[in-house]
Structure 1
Amino acid sequence: MPFTVIWYGRRGIVDKVSFDAEKAAKDYAIAMFPTRKGDDGIVSVEVRKDNGAVVFSHAEN
């Protein structure tokens, strides 16, 4: 089942990245959040299943 990491900025979706495994998607989101926050102004990230269900989310002001 594909999983999508969705990066959000203050004005909406900034980027989407697809993964085949939930663990890989979640690990990527956790590892990249500090970098993307500083470089791209990311305020939150979600990992979603192919059916749209959120399996992980993280946000910071």
Structure 2
Amino acid sequence: MAYTVMWYGVRGIIDKVTFDAEKMAKDHAITMFPTRKGDDGVVSVEVRKDNGAVVFSHAEN
């Protein structure tokens, strides 16, 4: 099953990255959030299954 990391800015989706494992997707989202927040203006991130179900989300002001 594929997992998609979706990066959101104030105007919507900025980027999507696909991983084969849920743990890899979550780890990527957690470790990259501070960098993407500073560099790209990311305000939130989600990890979604193929069926669209959200398995992880994180947001900061």
Place the TM-score, normalised by the shorter chain, in its bin.
Answer: over 0.9
Q: After TM superposition, give the deviation of residue 22 of structure 1 in Å.
A: 0.1
> In structure 2, what residue type is equivalent to 1:11?
R
Q: After TM superposition, give the deviation of residue 45 of structure 1 in Å.
A: 0.0
Post-superposition Cα deviations, 1:10-50, rounded to whole Å, max 9, x if no partner, equal: 00000000000000000000000000000000000000000
Q: What TM-score do the two structures reach when normalised by structure 1?
A: 1.00
Task: Tell me which residue corresponds to 1:48.
Answer: 48
SS at match of 1:51: coil
> Is there any run of 5+ residues in structure 1 with no aligned partner, and where?
none
> In structure 2, what residue type is equivalent to 1:56?
F
> Is there any run of 5+ residues in structure 2 with no aligned partner, and where?
none
RMSD over aligned Cα, in angstroms?
0.2
SS at match of 1:35: helix
Task: Tell me which residue corresponds to 2:6.
Answer: 6
> Structure 1: how far apart are the matches of 2:52 and 2:42?
21
Task: Tell me which residue corresponds to 2:22.
Answer: 22
Q: What TM-score do the two structures reach when normalised by structure 2?
A: 1.00
Equivalenced residues, count: 61
> Structure 2: how far apart are the matches of 1:19 and 1:8?
17
